[in-house]
Structure 1
Amino acid sequence: MVFAALNRIYAGIINPPPAKKRDDAIRFGLLGASNIAPIALIGPAISHSEVVIAGVAARDKTRAEAYAKKHNIPIVHSTYEDLLQDPSIDAIYIALPNNLHYEWALRSISAGKHVLLEKPSCSNAAEARELFTHPLITTAGVPVLLEAFHYRFHPAWQTFLARIHDDPEAGNVKNASAQQYLPKGVILNDDIRWRFDLAGGAMMDFGTYTLSCLRQIFKEEPTEVLHASFRGLGTPHSSLPEPDQIDQAMSATYRTADGATGTLQADLAVSGGWPLLPSSWTRNFPGFGWPKCEVELDEKVLKNWDGQVHAVQRTVILWNHLAPSVYHRIDVEDTHTIRAGDQVVKTWKESHQEKAYKWPIGDPRRNDEQEWWTTYRYQLQEFVNRVKGRVGSGVWVDADDSIKQMEAVDETYRKAGLKVRPGSDFKL
């Protein structure tokens, strides 16, 4: 198991096997010399025969040149607009600060480029509605636009959802939780994530993932934010614009029209919680925690005969949904109960664990994927399929989904007593 995990890390992240590029490969340009692009696109593109990372532009051309040299990118442009006007570029990857997503997605589409847009799609719901309902986006034959919720494209996440929504022994969702943590100190005090004017905050970072997870689990939109609370930045960040409006961590609970509830925890600077040590010793130490989604389903009646009822109640947990190619596990536990009226005749538990690094054998989605494919590699595969007009796995993030995602983010901020993140003045 350890050897398999190391192989997946090596082939999927450290040294992806290079693929021979096709003549009709999609040529990507990068807006910004971002830290996430090597993991999210540059690395996955190496193993894809239909993707070439062809160009980059950054506000600092010297930085862009150094970035291009490091990642073997042949073209460096002086400005973002120059990159968009380059006829040799087919698609744009946008990993700029959140407040620039709306403007440069519109500019890219206007220039006829396909767009892979890092989450969150925009600074707020108003921008998301303007972006995804713009005629440039909704007209037939326009370029592809995808908000990059990469975790959704991996078979592990889709298998997890199937155990909730598709199994005959699965009842309706009753309670759910999604959590993601980053140790204290990983994000420095001057990071853009702490900038209100750049649409920063934990809810705009890890919170977008946990909220997206809950919305997928619910299979319907939450109708109410029952509770939302945040932990602020504190004095080290007091020189930043409106530091009192930034959430370093967010906790929120939602309810759907069917009465299901879901709680998210998103923390970009978790501390303490070390096992076997007093909390007073470790409260200022970096903390740790696995990304985790857990779902409790309502009891479902499987059989009703001669005055007896056989019912089952299911709980499903997915560990490490953000990086399942490294390691993940899906725990399924079914509690069976036989009742005669109000009397419990018999009860027992059945549990099993699953892993899904590839689509199952015989599944029409199964193609040439490898166990070491990361969530980003699966996402890139579907992006290429959509651009090429091919049928893929069927997993996608459509315009309505992206709009409703930002509506829920805005409502969370309002419930927490914080301002909705500021948008752009850009108009096209």
Structure 2
Amino acid sequence: MFFNALHRIYTGFIGPPTARKQDDAIRFGLLGASNIAPIALVGPAKSHSEVIVAAVAARDRSRAEAYAKKHGIPIVHSTYEDLLQDSSIDAIYIALPNSLHYEWALRSIRAGKHVLLEKPSCSNAEEARALFNHPLLKAKGAPVLLEAFHYRFHPAWQTFLTRIHRDPEAGQVKNAFVQQYLPKGFCPNDDIRWRFDLAGGAMMDFGTYTMSCLRQIFNQEPTEVLEARFRGLLTPLPDLQDAGQIDQAMNASYRTADGKTGTLLADLSASGDWPLLPNSWTKSLPRLGWPKCEVELEERVIEDTDGRVHGVKRNVTMWNHLAPSVYHRVDVEDTHTIRVGDRVVKSWKESKKEKAYKWPSCDIRANDEQEWWTSYRHQLNEFVNKVKGREGSGVWVDGDDSIRQMEAVDETYRKAGLLVRPSSVFKL
């Protein structure tokens, strides 16, 4: 198992095989020399025969040139607009600061380019509605636009959802909890995540994942934010604009129209809570641990005859949904109870632990995927399928989904007493 994990990590993130490129491969341009692009696109593209990362543009040309040399990107453009006007480029990957997503997604679409857009799609719901409902995206043959919630595309996440929504022994979702955090010290004080004018904050970073997870678990939209508590910056820089509006961590609870409840915790500077040690000893130390989703389902009656009732109550936990190719596990625990009237006659538990590094061979979605494929590689595969007009796995994030996502994020900020992130002045 250890060597399998090493193989997945090395092949998926460090040394993916280089595929022979097809003549009609999609040629990507990168807007920005970002830290995430090598993991999210450059690496996955190497093993995809229909994708070439062909160009990059950054605010600083010398930085773009160094980035291109490091990652084997043949073309460097001096400006973002020059990249959009490059007729050899078919698609744009946008990993700019959040506040620039709306403008450069629209500019890319206007230039006729497909767009893979890093989350969050926009700074707020108003921008999301303007972007995803724009006439340019409604026209025949419009470019493909995808908000890059990569975790959704991995078979592990879909297996997790199956155990909640599509398994015959699963009841209705009752309650859910999702947590993701970065260890204290990971983000320096001058990180752009702490800039309100750049649409920063925990809810705009890891919080977007936790919110997306809850919405997927609910299988509907939350109608009420029950509570939202944030931790602000402990030592903001003196010149940090609107530092009081930045959430370093967010803890929020929600309810749906039919009574489902859920809680998210997103922390970009987590400390303490080490296992087996008093928190007083570890509260100043960086916190370590896997991202986690826990779901409690209502009891489902599977047999009701002659006053004898057999019910099953399920709990499902997914560990490390964010990087499942490194390691993940889906824990399913079913508590069976047999009652006669109000009397419990028998009770027992059945547990199983599952992993899904690729689609099962019997699944119609199974194709040529490998166990080392990262969630980003699965996402890229579906992006290509959409551009090429192929059916694919059926997993997607459509425009309405992205709009509702930002509406939920905005409502969380309002409930917490914080301002919604500011809109761009760009108009098209």
TM-score bin, normalised by smaller chain: over 0.9
* Deviation of the 1:137 alpha carbon: 1.1
CA distance in 1, matches of 2:239, 2:313: 51
Distance 1:159 1:182 in 2: 25
Deviation, structure 1 residue 139? 1.7
Structure 1 residue aligned with 2:70: 70
How many angstroms apart in 2 are the aligned matches of 1:276 and 1:231? 25
**What's 1:348 paired with?**
348
Alignment of 1:21-40 (within 5 A): 21-40=21-40
Could you list the runs of 4 or more consecutive aligned residues of structure 1 that deviate by over 3 angstroms after TM superposition?
Answer: 275-278
| Aligned residue number for residue 295 of structure 2 | 295
Look up the equivalent residue of 1:233 and give its one-letter code. Answer: L
Aligned to 2:91: 91
TM-score (norm 1): 0.99
Superposed displacement of residue 362, structure 1: 1.1
Q: Could you tell me how far apart the structure 1 residues matched to 2:400 and 2:237 are?
A: 36
How many angstroms apart in 2 are the aligned matches of 1:357 and 1:21?
25
Task: Please list, as runs of the form range in 1=range in 2, the aligned pairs for 1:3-402 lying within 5 A after superposition.
Answer: 3-402=3-402
| Equivalent pair of 2:236/2:243 in contact (CA under 8 Å) | no
Q: How many residues end up aligned between the 2 structures?
A: 428
Gaps of 5+ in 1: none
Offset from partner CA, 1:236-266 (integer Å, 9 cap, x none): 4342111000000000000001100000000
- Work out the CA distance in 1 between the residues paired with 2:182 and 2:70: 27
User: Partner letter of residue 377 of structure 2?
Assistant: R
Q: Secondary structure in 2 aligned to 1:120?
A: coil
SS at structure 1 position matched to 2:101? helix
Shift in Å at residue 366 of structure 1? 0.1
- Report the 3-state secondary structure (helix = DSSP H, G, I; strand = E; otherwise coil) of the residue aligned with 1:413: helix
Secondary structure of the residue that 1:137 maps to in structure 2? helix
Report the alpha carbon displacement of residue 273 of structure 1 after superposing the two structures with TM. Answer: 1.9
Aligned-partner Cα distance in 2 for 1:276–1:179: 20
**CA drift at 1:94:** 0.1
Post-superposition shift, 1:287? 1.1
Aligned-partner SS, 2:107 = helix
Q: Distance in 1 between matches of 2:237 and 2:317?
A: 36
CA distance in structure 2 between the aligned counterparts of 1:296 and 1:236, rounded to whole angstroms: 38
1:43-94 Cα offsets, whole Å, 9 max, x none, are 0000000000000000011100000000010000000000000000000000
Q: CA deviation at 1:193?
A: 0.3
Q: What secondary structure does 1:391 align onto? A: coil
Q: Which whole-Å CA distance do the structure 2 matches of 1:278 and 1:155 have between them?
A: 37
CA distance, structure 2, for counterparts of residue 325 and residue 206 of structure 1? 19
The residue type paired with residue 380 of structure 1 is: L
Q: Tell me which amino acid in the other structure corresponds to 1:357.
A: Y
User: 2:190, 2:318 → 1: CA distance?
Assistant: 33
1:138 is displaced (CA, Å) by: 1.7
What amino acid sits opposite 1:7 in the alignment? Answer: H
Distance apart, 1:140 and its partner CA: 2.2
- SS, match of residue 159 in structure 1: helix
Return the offset for 1:290.
1.0
Alpha carbon RMSD of aligned pairs, Å?
0.8
Secondary structure of residue in 2 paired with 1:250: strand
Aligned-partner Cα distance in 2 for 1:235–1:390? 50
How far does residue 276 in structure 1 lie from its aligned partner after superposition? 4.1
Q: Alpha-carbon deviations, 1:246-302, whole Å to 9, x = none? A: 000000000001100000000000011223444333222111121000100000010
Name whichever of 206-215 and 341-350 sits farther off. 341-350
Q: Partner letter of residue 398 of structure 2?
A: D
- What amino acid is the match of 1:248? Q
Q: Does 1:420 align with 2:413?
A: no
Extract unaligned runs of 5+ from structure 2.
Answer: none
Check 1:266–1:372 CA distance in 2 against 1; reply closer, same or farther (3 A cut): same
Instruction: Give me the whole-angstrom Cα distance separating, in 2, the residues matched to 1:14 and 1:286.
Output: 26
Q: CA deviation at 1:126?
A: 0.2
Give, as a single letter, the amino acid of the residue that structure 1 aligns with 2:380. L
Residue by residue over 1:355-403, the C-alpha shift from the partner in whole angstroms, topping out at 9 and shown as x without a partner, is: 0001112111000000000000000000000000011000000010000
Which secondary structure state, in structure 2, belongs to the residue aligned with residue 237 of structure 1? coil
**Displacement after TM superposition at 1:341 (Å):** 1.1
In 1, the alpha carbon distance for the partners of 2:100 and 2:382 equals: 25
Worse-superposed segment, 370-379 or 288-297: 288-297
